[in-house]
A and B are shown apart, each in its own frame.
Chain A
Amino acid sequence: MMAYAAFARSGFLTSLAYRNEVWANIFGKLVQVFARVAIWLAVYAGVTAVDGIGIKDMITYALLGGVVMGTTRYERIVHQVGKALKTGDVAIWLLKPVHYPLYLLAVEAGMSLYTFLLAVVPTIIVVASVYGMLPPASLFHGVMFLPFCLLGFTIHFLCAAIFGVLAFWLMTIFSLEWLLQSLITLLSGLLVPFWFFPEPFGTIASHQPLAWLVYYPSAVWLGQLDVGGTLLHFGLGLAWAALLALALALLWRRASSRITVQGG
């Protein structure tokens, strides 16, 4: 366990070493969050509420969308796993007394913590000070937002790692990265929340694991789910995370038992 904490620390410190990239990241995120807010202001255009959702709700939703999605980078995870499998570097990790997916999770957690503290939080503060932001619907919803975000981070990592391991069979990281991007665009709720999706697509979208990346954490903050609904969906999210972790473990075991490293 101490080893994984050290990996997380190293991930944090690695991010610290590339400050230019972090500043560019902050700037990029700031622009994107401003843009998301501008899109909602444009579509509402004077209308106070649509389907019971007000413009203030949507500005808050646009800001909160960056908490999980702005913190982690799925392409970094897919790339790292895929590259390690393709180049054979993974063989080194198989010799070490650590579990490679857990090592990746620890490093990603460290890097994400850095981005969260130095990019996401300042971005939210700046944009919220310009456009305003709604507080959580209640103390309960505010408290539950944090575990939902952690769950979102875990599901995000697991999905990205599964796509990375699939590179072992497909031998292409590029297309896996793009496919995951399309799924996240469509099914995380980052750009459009599911309550604005036409039915039955809204219901279908809210029952798949990527919904926990943006849609559910933001919906909880805004009080779109009551106490029972919040707890139920947290449980469902945990079940999805467990299922994805199992899938990753099985895929990883299968991939690592079939690895043939050529050259030397």
Chain B
Amino acid sequence: MRNRLAILPLLIRMHVKSQMEYRGAFWLDRLAQIISYGAVLLILWILLQKFHQLGGWNWPELALLFSFQLLAYSLGASMSFTQLRELEELVRLGAIDTLLTKPVNTWAYLIFSGLNIGYVGHIILAIPVLVWALLAAQVEWSVGTALFFIFSLLSATMVTGALMTMIGATALIWVRSNHLFSIFFGFWELTRYPLGIFPTGLQVVMLTIVPLGYISSVPVAVLLGKPVPLLGDLAAPVTLLAGPCLVFIAIIHWRYALNRYQGAGG
């Protein structure tokens, strides 16, 4: 087992080395992503300059929501998105069969051989905004708040990774699954805004079927002491448990999909 896992750091090193081969292009891509997310933040600022509040949240609070979402997403997606988006193509071409015969866990091989360090651009933007927003939003800090912040970020990261794993694994059954990522990103964009501004039906969906509410809106609302729709006082424990629970469900789903896999071609 230990021998099999020892290959993972090697896979990461090889992939990082290949990604950094074209250093100029790599950093140009990161700069473009920073500018793009910066534009979204700027639009949010313009909106708040005019209206001062959005659903009872002011500018520093919304900047906190934006940066928390970006950080949790980038940490979770670096371990899942691009690798699982490519799974559809691996299934279609039959290349997944080669992975299945390797003496290493298929998921671990897929994830670590494609660990996406490209998300460093998201992190470079998210961390300074997060630090500024945490100071400006007047969070009432205590040991409990600090622990909640760390573990809710961890849980949010797990939610992102688990959902993407489940979507990607669907390709093993349906062959095509990338259209489900469109739905994911449709909902994901909503997580930049407070959950309370959306219609009740959408709130229910974002806390259950597509539980993206736990990657930003719920934890940040708890951190700021704001009311969380539908969950109320249960918001803090639920958001902390959401990540581990979804990871557990994703493991079951992955195994089920792998067992159902019969190949896509002949």
Contact = CB atoms under 8 A, between A and B. Distances in A.
Q: Do A and B associate with each other?
A: yes
Interface in A142-193: 170-172, 174-179, 181-183, 185-186, 191-192
B179 interface: yes
Interface string A17-32: 0101101110111011
Contact of A174 (B32, B35, B50, B187): B32
B20 interface: no
B6 to A, nearest CB: 32
B202 A34 contact: yes
Given A24-B179, A39-B193, A178-B35, A186 B43 contact: yes
Range of interface residues on B (Cβ < 8 Å):
35 or more
Contacts, number: 111
A178 B198 contact: no
A177 B186 CA distance: 18
Nearest to A20: B179
B104 interface: no
Contacts of A178: 29, 32-33, 35-36
Given A24-B180, A34-B202, A182 B35 contact: yes
B47 A192 contact: yes
B186 A50 contact: no
B29 A179 contact: no
Contacts of B199: 34, 38
Range of interface residues on A (Cβ < 8 Å):
35 or more
- Provide the main secondary structure of the chain A interface: helix
Contact of B182 (A25, A44, A186, A201): A25
A90 interface: no
28 contacts: A23-B179, A24-B183, A25-B182, A27-B183, A28-B185, A28-B186, A31-B187, A32-B189, A38-B193, A38-B199, A39-B54, A43-B47, A43-B51, A44-B51, A50-B50, A50-B51, A172-B28, A174-B32, A182-B36, A182-B39, A183-B39, A185-B36, A191-B47, A192-B43, A196-B46, A197-B46, A198-B46, A198-B49
Interface of A: 18, 20-21, 23-25, 27-29, 31-32, 34-35, 38-39, 41-45, 50, 170-172, 174-179, 181-183, 185-186, 191-192, 196-198, 201
Given A20-B179, A21-B179, A182-B38, 5 more contacts: A35-B189, A50-B51, A175-B33, A178-B36, A182-B35
